[in-house]
Chains A and B, each alone.
Chain A
Amino acid sequence: MSDQSVVALKSVNSTVSEEEVLALKEKLDAKKQAFKSEVNARKQELADKAAKLDGELDDKRAKLKSYEEKKKELLADLKASKDDKKKEKLEKVEEKIKKLQKDIKAREKNNKKLIKENKKSLNKELKAKKKEFKKEFNPENKAYKLGVKRVLWEKKKFKRKFADKIKFDKWKAWLYLLPTLILLAIFTFWPLINTVKMAFTVYWDPDAPIYQYDENGDIVTDDDTGKKVILGYGKYKGYNMGLDIAGETKFQFGISNFTEVLKYDGFLQIMKNTIILCVATVPISTFLALLIAVCLNAIKPLRRFLQTIFFMPYVTNSIAIGMVFAAMFNIVGVNEHELMLSKSLGIINNIIGVVGLGPVNWINQGSGYWANIAVMIIYIVWNALPFKILILLGGLQSVNKQYYEAAKVDATPAWRVFTRITVPLLSPMIAYVVITGFIGGFKEYTSIIGIFGDKMQPPGAATGTPRLQTMVGFIYEALETNSQGLASAAAIILFLLIFAVTLVNLYVSKKKTHY
């Protein structure tokens, strides 16, 4: 890099390339290295000088030592035989020793002085050199640093240019998503979070009585008074929005909402209803829908017309359909006597009467649980058919006709075509229909209202938990009595149930489905 570019680097408006800056750095590094090696050389020179002086001194010391040894020898000789000559010799040696000692002392002193002086002059010299070096080096170094800064700045500027764009794009994406996100947040996320929160919120009611229970789980009553036996007062109760709004009540974390749901008298009845209505209807409706779809697919004339007919229940209100079903299964007359007199047994009883079956009290006062469930299953299956037929028919129509032609040429019996070709090729649709069917089935509620009304049982049935109560019904009931905590806990239990069943469904369909 030339000096001009260094100058250029110093000027504010210049732009520098990264290569230029790197070249400058290389040059500066080389200079630094040269300076350091020069300094080291000078220091080494001084050290050598000191070593030389020390070496001379050591020589003298060695000589002194040899003289002292001679003196010792001579002394020993003199003891043995007193000889004048020897005495003279000894004196001479002693004189020499004295001289040497003096010399060494002087040299030691001199050497120290010399080294000190030399060091001083070297330091002075190095200082001056350093000053000189800095004078030359620093501006270049500054320019280099400036260059680096500028390059970095330019890089940053470049990045920022793009970063702005990326940031803007991200921001725009969120802007487009905003309406949906707001709606989702208000109507989905917040209620979800709130449900979980309410499910785990309880308060301490000091006035709540604690009853005694027998081994059957029933409350023990006093034989004399007929009143419930009270053991004491005070217990945790679930979240109550009314109390929350009124204030004063202190809410805290607790799981008594869940224990209350699980301990609830009718809980087993509710689960039984929910599971029967779901597990019985999904396979039946799926199988029927499959048969109807295959039949519809096989015929050409009237297909569109029949498709419309089969789809009608889907667009009709389920309460309205429920009322029609209720009328079909209804018997006019409330007791057996009236029943015998009445000609109006309902259309279903009239139809099964043709083949000699009986009139059955389906839904009226005094009807049995399984008769009620049978009506519910028929109704739910009928109601679930259209959607499933639609999906399966769509799937069937997308199956390549050549599979059927190939099967025909190979003389495949119709049942085998159905089981070995149609069902496997439709398996993704069947899996979809079954999974959504189970999810919907566990949430059965309106269908029961449609037939039995909001009492959720035939008239005259026992009080307490309604006979056909389901989980969703229970949740609604809890909400009506301001027991939001209980309702939330029940909703979470239902969710976990659906979640588990769906996982099983997915696991099975993964193994059995051909995509």
Chain B
Amino acid sequence: MKIVLQNLTKIFPARDKKKGKETIAVNDFTFTIPDGKLVGLLGPSGCGKSTTLYMISGLQVPTGGKIFFGDDDVTKLTPENRGVGLVFQNYALYPHMTVKQNILFPLQNLRGPDKLKKKEMIERAYEAARLVQIDELMERKPSELSGGQQQRVAIARALVKMPKVLLLDEPLSNLDARLRLQTREEIKRIQKETGITTIFVTHDQEEAMSISDIIVVMKLGVVQQIGAPQNVYDDPTNLFVAKFLGTPPINVFNGRVEDGKLIIGDAAVLDVPGVDDRDVFVGIRPEGFIPSDEGAFECKLSSVEVMGRDVSVVCTNDASANPFVRAIVDADYKIDREAETVKFNLKPHKVLLFDSVTEERIRFEVN
């Protein structure tokens, strides 16, 4: 089922009416989530991604705008009538019930024509449990499970009533790094197997990029960019999105454009045809550097970190907005560790220009 968000807005009133300012958690969010896709809402904390999720679930009422599930307007509908499955950040498994009772709980709530026989309920509970591979833990209490197992129980509980939409609120934040990698693959697999439209919230860009079909980058309640992870990474619309995506993060320099040439410091490093003369922020992805003796871009070498397949060259440049510039180059390039400076050529499509005032993207033609 596709989900349509139309001018969705949420404003939290100020707690102290005289002094405080109201908080705009989500500002005019319009987006159509296609059926059966896995969508990641991504942004730093306080950007309104969780609020968006809770508005879709119905636990929070939007201040303005509309939400459609398919063609039905569900804006006024209470959560119990929306048919969504929600997995909370800390899972909210009922501690006094066994795994089985937890999974059965939503089914036992069904009334009227949807009401199930006991046998059917148990069959469906086991079906959901098998999907997330916890059918052997059915008699345990949540306190006897590991974090990853609890998370799966929470997913099974959300899936068992066959929701039209599955919502996950920071589902991996309570897991350790290893389990996180494993579980995010699991989420991807479950989503593919069930084909349920899934929205999940995260502040970890790596997590979002790795499993989402579409990512939505938000900042202070405003959607910055929506798109496939690779597109958003390669072609960010503004400096915030460029900085937020990618590990290691993008290198940002103060530069200017003169006569169609990009100048960082005093060196003209790249041809940028079709850009007017002006001051710009230059974002260069770490993989956008090619070491070369004739390179135009020169930096002072600080250290070289070997990572096996790649080499991470850490250097400094006066024009850099960050203390260090990090370039990731292929291990085939031999870097002289004793040298004082290192010279690079730049890959044009890894160099991104942004307006120095609005921080909006300035596009140029790449040959």
Please name all residues of chain B whose beta carbon is closer than 8 Å to the beta carbon of A427 when the two chains form the complex: 96
- Given A405-B88, A406-B86, A406-B92, A420 contacting B57 (CB threshold 8 A): no
Q: Is A402 engaged at the interface, CB distance under 8 Å to the other chain?
A: yes
Q: Is A171 engaged at the interface, CB distance under 8 Å to the other chain?
A: no
Distance A409 CA – B55 CA, assembled complex (angstroms): 12
Q: Which of A98-106, A297-305, A358-366, A411-419 has 4 or more CB atoms under 8 Å from chain B? A: A411-419
Q: Which of B39-47, B77-85, B205-213, B266-274 has 4 or more CB atoms under 8 Å from chain A? A: B77-85
A152 to nearest B CB, angstroms? 54
- Given A402-B88, A420-B105, A409 contacting B57 (CB threshold 8 A): yes
B126 to nearest A CB, angstroms? 18
Within 8 A of A (CB), among B69-115: 78-81, 84-86, 88, 90, 92, 94-97, 105-106, 108-111
Distance A405 CA – B106 CA, assembled complex (angstroms): 13
Count: A-B pairs, CB below 8 Å: 61
Distance A478 CA – B110 CA, assembled complex (angstroms): 62
Distance A427 CA – B94 CA, assembled complex (angstroms): 13
Q: Is A306 engaged at the interface, CB distance under 8 Å to the other chain?
A: no
B359 to nearest A CB, angstroms? 37
Would you call B84 and A411 a contact (CB within 8 A)?
no
- Given A416-B109, A420-B105, A409 contacting B94 (CB threshold 8 A): no
Within 8 A of B (CB), among A388-420: 400, 402-403, 405-413, 416, 420
Q: Is A166 engaged at the interface, CB distance under 8 Å to the other chain?
A: no
User: Quick one: closest A residue to B163, CB to CB?
Assistant: A409
A211 to nearest B CB, angstroms? 60
Please, how many residues of chain B have a CB less than 8 angstroms from a CB on the other chain? 25
- Given A402-B88, A416-B109, A420-B105, A409 contacting B96 (CB threshold 8 A): no
A84 to nearest B CB, angstroms? 124
Distance A356 CA – B80 CA, assembled complex (angstroms): 43
Output the residue of B57, B78, B81, B106 with the most chain A CB within 10 A.
Answer: B106
Would you call A411 and B59 a contact (CB within 8 A)?
no
DSSP class of B's interface residues: helix, strand, loop or mixed?
loop
Would you call A410 and B105 a contact (CB within 8 A)?
yes
Would you call A402 and B81 a contact (CB within 8 A)?
no
B128 to nearest A CB, angstroms? 13
User: Quick one: closest A residue to B161, CB to CB?
Assistant: A410
Distance A412 CA – B157 CA, assembled complex (angstroms): 13
Would you call A400 and B81 a contact (CB within 8 A)?
no
Would you call A425 and B96 a contact (CB within 8 A)?
yes
Please name all residues of chain B whose beta carbon is closer than 8 Å to the beta carbon of A400 when the two chains form the complex: 90, 92
Would you call A424 and B161 a contact (CB within 8 A)?
no
- Given A424-B96, A514-B95, A514-B96, A409 contacting B90 (CB threshold 8 A): no
B187 to nearest A CB, angstroms? 18
Please name all residues of chain A whose beta carbon is closer than 8 Å to the beta carbon of B85 when the two chains form the complex: 409
Q: Is A421 engaged at the interface, CB distance under 8 Å to the other chain?
A: yes
Distance A514 CA – B84 CA, assembled complex (angstroms): 29
Known: A406-B92, A408-B59, A410-B106. 9 other contacts (CB 8 A): A400-B90, A405-B59, A405-B88, A406-B86, A406-B94, A408-B79, A409-B85, A411-B80, A424-B94
Measuring CB to CB, which residues of chain A are less than 8 angstroms from any residue of chain B? Answer: 400, 402-403, 405-413, 416, 420-421, 424-425, 427, 514
Return 20 A-B CB contacts under 8 Å, by A number. A400-B90, A402-B90, A405-B86, A407-B105, A409-B57, A409-B79, A409-B84, A409-B85, A409-B86, A411-B79, A411-B80, A412-B109, A413-B109, A420-B105, A424-B96, A424-B97, A425-B95, A427-B96, A514-B95, A514-B96
Measuring CB to CB, which residues of chain B are less than 8 angstroms from any residue of chain A? Answer: 57-59, 78-81, 84-86, 88, 90, 92, 94-97, 105-106, 108-111, 157, 161
